[in-house]
Chains A and B, each alone.
Chain A
Amino acid sequence: MIFTYLITAGLIIASLVIQGHPSFDVLRIAGVKPDLLFIIVIYFGYSFGSFYGEVTGFVGGLLHDAISNSPIGFLAFSKMALGFVVGMFGRAVFKENILTVLLLLFIASLAKGVLSLFLAFVFHQAAVSDILSIIIPEAFYNAILAPPLFFLLDRLFEHELSREGY
């Protein structure tokens, strides 16, 4: 179990470091870059349930907030909430295949974007045009990257998944 926690912590840190590195800007499409940490949070919610999803989302989101210019809680809340919601359905309901993962990440990213937009309206500043300029392109990008990342994470957590009965 400690091995799983260590791997999770390593994945969170690696995704944040890669996402924040200047060279990652080369991967921008339509001005946005994918949210690797969010894909990982959704994977944990999907594979190991709501509790693991929300804790990973909260801790990862809090670190994301700390190194971003966002107010503390802004990115943590949406990641935590989506980790929790996706965990309620998870693998038991949606069997894993490329289409399911694509749709799951696309819808989850849209929901995360709308939640962030709402928080930005209340606590920071935002414009409705952000739906077109950030939320939709990022949802597409996350959805495209999700199947290969899910495949790699499945290999990494093979033992844990077999223990859960998948």
Chain B
Amino acid sequence: MLEFLIRNRTIVCFIFFTLFCIIALSLQSTTFTMSIEGVGNMFILPFQFGYHKVQGGVHLLWAGFTELRSVRDELERTRKKLNQFETASEELSEIRRENDRLRAMLSMRPQVQFESIPARIISKDPDNWFRTIVIDRGTGDGIAVNMPVIGFNGENKAVVGKVIEVRRFVSRIQPIISGTMKLGVVFQESRYPGLLSGFTANSSLCLIDYISKSTVVKFGDLVVTSGQGGIFPAGLMVGKVAKTNLMDSNSFQRVLVQPIIDFDRIEEVYVIKKEPDKAMLELLGE
């Protein structure tokens, strides 16, 4: 028997591997597949961290030689901006006090400010079929599933995605350009609501479908989060309208949105410590 198995090891292994894959695919999200992912991550993670550190070190060393002049210019610009912001900060605190006073007069709920955790991107999905991002913060840093993630492009703060998986030292983020992501948004100017998702698997654009044809959507219109859905706070920037598709055969129009965040270049993100609205998620789940 053993001799037969060894002689035909190629076919035997092929059948075993095929059965293993089919069973694993049928048992998605069970303890069995989660354990395999855990072991795999444990095996690859030190190499990912190591490579990230080495690459960062080489980049820093190179930058030390080449970027001195640009750093000096940047410092000048930053000093000027700091002066402007210090003046603006004074005005802002005055406006905030006035806003609080008016909200109190209108008996509106005060807006909650959320704490955020800075994180570095250590890896992106190595395959073309999936678009996820791995960051160097996990349960130990207080991160939980469904927490919103934001980032900066220049001075613009915008939505990156949401946390979909958390382990001890790392977390996985589903970006808004992913096809399986669904995000409630509104057009900032017209206040018309929509549901945003990724456009295609390899595109860096987002799509808002089922917008009424009567809605006027202009090129460059800003799209912000609606706050519905229980995960993202309202009013966070998402992107700008890049194209609208109006077809006679369809009673709706499709809007393509260029995200504010450049997903090919982003290196740092901030996880907002906001617990998802469980009642809302359960309702949506049903």
Contacts and interface: CB of A to CB of B under 8 A. Distances in A.
Q: Considering residues A18, A68, A119, which has the most beta carbons from chain B within 10 angstroms of its beta carbon? A: A68
A72 B24 contact: yes
A96 B211 CA distance: 55
Contacts of B21: 73-74, 76-77, 80
A4 interface: no
Q: Considering residues A22, A30, A51, A66, which has the most beta carbons from chain B within 10 angstroms of its beta carbon? A: A22
Contacts of B267: 22
A18 B14 CA distance: 28
A21 B267 CA distance: 11
A91 interface: no
B47 A30 contact: no
B123 A67 contact: yes
Interface residues of A, number: 58
A92 to B, nearest CB: 15
Contacts of B125: 20, 68-69
Contacts of B37: 65-66, 72
Given A51-B9, A55-B13, A70-B130, A22 B121 contact: yes
A23 B197 CA distance: 25
Q: Considering residues B25, B122, B123, B174, which has the most beta carbons from chain A within 10 angstroms of its beta carbon? A: B25
A20 B129 contact: no
Interface of B: 9-10, 13-14, 17-18, 20-26, 28, 33, 36-37, 39-41, 43-44, 47-48, 51-52, 55, 121-130, 132, 134, 164-165, 172, 174, 179-180, 200-204, 263-267
Interface of A: 13-14, 16-26, 28, 30-33, 35, 37, 49-51, 54-55, 58, 62-77, 80-81, 84, 87, 116, 119-120, 122-123, 125, 129-130, 133-134, 137-138
